[in-house]
C-alpha cells in the first residue's frame, strides 16, 4: 500500500463538559463533518504537508520534526512526533489535508486532523498500534504541539464514534459503552456564535490548574482523592472554604456536580426521558456559565433565547467554551421555526448573524481507500 485516505469526524458532546481531565464521564458522538487526509509514501526523507483549504504547504525532513511557526501544521507534526517516540519511519511521506469542520466552533476540528493523521500513518506503515493508543497519541500531540492541556474526549470521539450512537466514556478507566441515540421526534441543532475567543486555550489550562488546586486541598484530609472524580460536595465543603477560595470552590463544585449529572443524564437517555435529559443540559450550562466561567455573552444569549420556549427541550454551550456552539435538542417538526426565531432574536441582541448546523451522528475514523 503506497497511499491511504482516511476520514476522521468532528464531535458533539451531549453532556459531561470539562469532566474528562478530572477523570469523570463524557457522552460524545462523532458527526458528519470531518477531516480527510491522504498520505502517500515518498522515495526521499521529506515530509510534505499540504492544507488544501488554505492553499498552503510546508516541507520538513523526517529528522527535523519539531514545532512549526505555522499553526495548522502543528496538529500534524505533533502526531508525527508521537510516532517517532516509538517507531522509525523508513521513508518520508506527503500528507494532504482538507476538512469541512468549522474551525473554532467547538466541534474539535483539530482533534479530527490529529486522529485522521494518526489513523492513516498507523495503517500505511503497518505499525499495529491499537485505536485507544492512537487516541492517546493524538491527545499528546494537542498537548505538546498546540499547547492545550486537553483531556481525551475529542480524540476518543473522533476515533470511536458510532453511527446513531453516543458513547459514555469513563475517563478514569477508559472503559466505554455505546447507547443508541433514541431522539425519536427530536433533532440536534447547533447554533454557532462564530466567536473565537483568543484566551480559550490559556483559560482552559487555568481551569485545569484550578481543579488540581482543589484536589490538593481535599487531599489534606482525604489522601486517596486523586481527582475530582473521587470527591463529593461534603469533602469540598469541608476542605475548600468558599469564602477564602471562591474560584477554586466554584470550579470544583461544578465538576463534581457535572460528573454526577452526566451519569444521571445517561440513565434518562436510556429510559427515554428526554425532557429530563434536556433539563440537565440547561443545568450544565448554568454551571459552566456561573461556576466554571467558560461561557461568553453570546453563548448565554443563545441559551436564554431557547430556554422555556416551545420546541426546545435542552440547550447548553458545548466544548471548551469562550465561543463556539450551543447544542440544542429541538422538536423535529419545529426545527425551521426555532432556527428562524433564534436567528432573529440573536441578531437583535448581539447584532450578529447566527450560523446553524443540523447534526447527524456518524462513525468514527475510517479508511476511504
Please list the active-site residues.
154
Min dist CB 19 to ligand GLA, Å, is 6
Residues 292-321 that bind ligand GLA (CB under 6 A): 319-320
Nearer to ligand GLA by C-beta: 146 or 183? 146
Residues 78-117 that bind ligand GLA (CB under 6 A): 108
Nearer to ligand GLA by C-beta: 150 or 305? 150
Task: Give the three cell numbers for residue 285.
Answer: 450550562
Min dist CB 184 to ligand GLA, Å, is 26
Give the separation between CA 115 and CA 79, rounded to whole angstroms: 8
Give the separation between CA 302 and CA 192, rounded to whole angstroms: 9
* Total residues in contact with ligand GLA, by rule CB under 6 A: 11
Task: Give the three cell numbers for residue 91.
Answer: 521513508
Min dist CB 256 to ligand GLA, Å, is 15
Sketch the per residue contact string, 318 through 347, with ligand GLA: x for CB under 6 A, - otherwise: -xx---------------------------
Give the separation between CA 65 and CA 110, rounded to whole angstroms: 19
The total number of residues shown for the chain amounts to: 369
Find all residues with CB under 8 Å of 116, minimum gap 6, and list them. 6, 7, 8, 34, 35, 36, 37, 97, 158, 365
Residue 287 within binding range of ligand GLA, rule CB under 6 A: no
Binding residue (CB under 6 A) for ligand GLA from 7, 17, 29, 102: 17
Task: Give the three cell numbers for residue 38.
Answer: 491522504
Binding residue (CB under 6 A) for ligand GLA from 6, 21, 78, 298: 21
Nearer to ligand GLA by C-beta: 17 or 192? 17
Residues 229-268 that bind ligand GLA (CB under 6 A): none
In 3D space, the residue among 27, 25, 13, 12 whose CA is nearest the CA of residue 256 turns out to be 25
358 pairs with which residues across the strands? 189
Nearer to ligand GLA by C-beta: 62 or 168? 168
Q: Dihedral of CA 141/147/151/154: which sign?
A: negative
Task: Give the three cell numbers for residue 140.
Answer: 499528546
Min dist CB 215 to ligand GLA, Å, is 16
Nearer to ligand GLA by C-beta: 172 or 309? 172
Give the separation between CA 13 and CA 327, rounded to whole angstroms: 8
User: DSSP label at 333?
Assistant: G
Min dist CB 27 to ligand GLA, Å, is 11
User: DSSP label at 101?
Assistant: S
Nearer to ligand GLA by C-beta: 122 or 139? 139
Give the separation between CA 242 and CA 123, rounded to whole angstroms: 51
Min dist CB 150 to ligand GLA, Å, is 3
Residues 152-191 that bind ligand GLA (CB under 6 A): 153-154
Binding residue (CB under 6 A) for ligand GLA from 20, 114, 298, 362: 20
> Within 13 Å, how many C-alpha atoms sit on residue 365's CB side?
33
Binding residue (CB under 6 A) for ligand GLA from 10, 12, 18, 101: 18
Residues 129-158 that bind ligand GLA (CB under 6 A): 150-151, 153-154
SS3 content of the chain, % helix, strand, coil (to 5): 45, 25, 35
> What dihedral do alpha carbons 13, 16, 18, 22 form, nearest 10°?
-130
Task: Give the three cell numbers for residue 48.
Answer: 510534505
Min dist CB 84 to ligand GLA, Å, is 23
Nearer to ligand GLA by C-beta: 37 or 325? 325
Min dist CB 86 to ligand GLA, Å, is 23
Nearer to ligand GLA by C-beta: 47 or 293? 293
In three state form, how does the secondary structure of 248-283 look? HHHHHHHHHHHHHHHHHHHHHHHCCCHHHHHHHHHH
Interface positions with ligand GLA (CB under 6 A): 17-18, 20-21, 108, 150-151, 153-154, 319-320
Amino acid at each position: 500500500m503506497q497511499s491511504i485516505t482516511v476520514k476522521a469526524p468532528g464531535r458533539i458532546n451531549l453532556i459531561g463538559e470539562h469532566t474528562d481531565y478530572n477523570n469523570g464521564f463524557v457522552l460524545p458522538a462523532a458527526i458528519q463533518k470531518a477531516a480527510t487526509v491522504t498520505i502517500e509514501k515518498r522515495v526521499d526523507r521529506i515530509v510534505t504537508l499540504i492544507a488544501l483549504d488554505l492553499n498552503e504547504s510546508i516541507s520538513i525532513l523526517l529528522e527535523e520534526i519539531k514545532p512549526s511557526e505555522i499553526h495548522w501544521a502543528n496538529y500534524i507534526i505533533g502526531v508525527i512526533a508521537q510516532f517517532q517516540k516509538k517507531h522509525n519511519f523508513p521513508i518520508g511521506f506527503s500528507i494532504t489535508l482538507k476538512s469541512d469542520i468549522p474551525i473554532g466552533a467547538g466541534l474539535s476540528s483539530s482533534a479530527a486532523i490529529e486522529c485522521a493523521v494518526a489513523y492513516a500513518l498507523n495503517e500505511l506503515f503497518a505499525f499495529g498500534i491499537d485505536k485507544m493508543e492512537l487516541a492517546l497519541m493524538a491527545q499528546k500531540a494537542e498537548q505538546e504541539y498546540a499547547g492545550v492541556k486537553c483531556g481525551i474526549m475529542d480524540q476518543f470521539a473522533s476515533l470511536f464514534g458510532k453511527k446513531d450512537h453516543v458513547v459514555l466514556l469513563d475517563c478514569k478507566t477508559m472503559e466505554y459503552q455505546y447507547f443508541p441515540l433514541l431522539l425519536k421526534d427530536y433533532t440536534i441543532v447547533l447554533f454557532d456564535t462564530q466567536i473565537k475567543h483568543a484566551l480559550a486555550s490559556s483559560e482552559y489550562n487555568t481551569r485545569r490548574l484550578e481543579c488540581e488546586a482543589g484536589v490538593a486541598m481535599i487531599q489534606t484530609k482525604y489522601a486517596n482523592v486523586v481527582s475530582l472524580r473521587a470527591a463529593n460536595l461534603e469533602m469540598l465543603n469541608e476542605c475548600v472554604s468558599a469564602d477564602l477560595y471562591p474560584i477554586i470552590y466554584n470550579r470544583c463544585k461544578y465538576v463534581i456536580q457535572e460528573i454526577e449529572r452526566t451519569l444521571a443524564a445517561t440513565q434518562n437517555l436510556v429510559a427515554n426521558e428526554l425532557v429530563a435529559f434536556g433539563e440537565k443540559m440547561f443545568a450544565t450550562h448554568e454551571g459552566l456559565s456561573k461556576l466554571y466561567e467558560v461561557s461568553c455573552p453570546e453563548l448565554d444569549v443563545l441559551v436564554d433565547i431557547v430556554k422555556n420556549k416551545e420546541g426546545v427541550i435542552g440547550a447548553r454551550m458545548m466544548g471548551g467554551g469562550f465561543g463556539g456552539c450551543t447544542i440544542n435538542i429541538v422538536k423535529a417538526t419545529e426545527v425551521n421555526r426555532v432556527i428562524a426565531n433564534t436567528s432573529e432574536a440573536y441578531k437583535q441582541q448581539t447584532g450578529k448573524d447566527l450560523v446553524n448546523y443540523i447534526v447527524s451522528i456518524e462513525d468514527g475514523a475510517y479508511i476511504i481507500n
